[in-house]
Amino acid sequence: VIGSGIGTVTNQFADGNMPAGSVLQTLHAESTSTVNSTSSSYADTGFNLSITPSSTSNNILIQFEFTTYMFGNNDDTEVGSAYKFVRDSTDIKAFEDSGGYTTKVERSANNYWEAFRTNLTHLDSPSTTSAVNYKLQFARKLGGQLTIKGVTKIILMEIAG
């Protein structure tokens, strides 16, 4: 803007001029895919999203929201699951208690499904300006089968550092 007594305003809102804690970009994806696991080892869910940070000092706020279904058969008295976030090929956050579980439930019926809406959040410092891919992995820790189905939401926000 140029005018009498006003001066020139240039690029006030560039990412580098935003104060620490400002949200610089937000990416969002949704999926209605269903994924199943009967393995106690971590596996990819197929839910992932990439973002390119604008500065090496910025952070990425990661949020995955989904519905977990856990099935226990006649032999299972408990059902349990665990989740973790992976950046490219590096584990960055395991959501596990001291027993290795994110969710663990004692059940009272045979051949029974337990359902939980799950929301996992983590603040990551990737220290790069190259594209990074964040993905969700899961493992069945107890019980017969672990399923994620319904709407899965992924949100990535770049936060000024």
| pTM recorded for the entire structure | 0.85
Residue 99 in 3-state DSSP? coil
Q: Work out the angle at residue 151's Cα, subtended by the Cα atoms of residues 160 and 115, and round it to the nearest 5 degrees.
A: 110
Predicted confidence at residue 2, as pLDDT, reads 47
Cα(111)–Cα(121) distance, rounded to whole angstroms?
A: 31
pLDDT in tens, the chain (161 residues): 444 555 554 555 566 678 999 999 999 999 999 999 989 999 999 999 999 999 999 999 999 999 999 887 766 677 889 999 999 999 999 999 998 889 888 766 667 778 889 999 999 999 999 999 999 999 998 877 899 999 999 999 999 99
Predicted confidence at residue 114, as pLDDT, reads 81
Cα(57)–Cα(55) distance, rounded to whole angstroms?
A: 5
Predicted confidence at residue 78, as pLDDT, reads 78
Predicted confidence at residue 58, as pLDDT, reads 97
- Report residue 15: phi and psi, to 5°: -50, -40
Residue 12 is classified by DSSP as: T
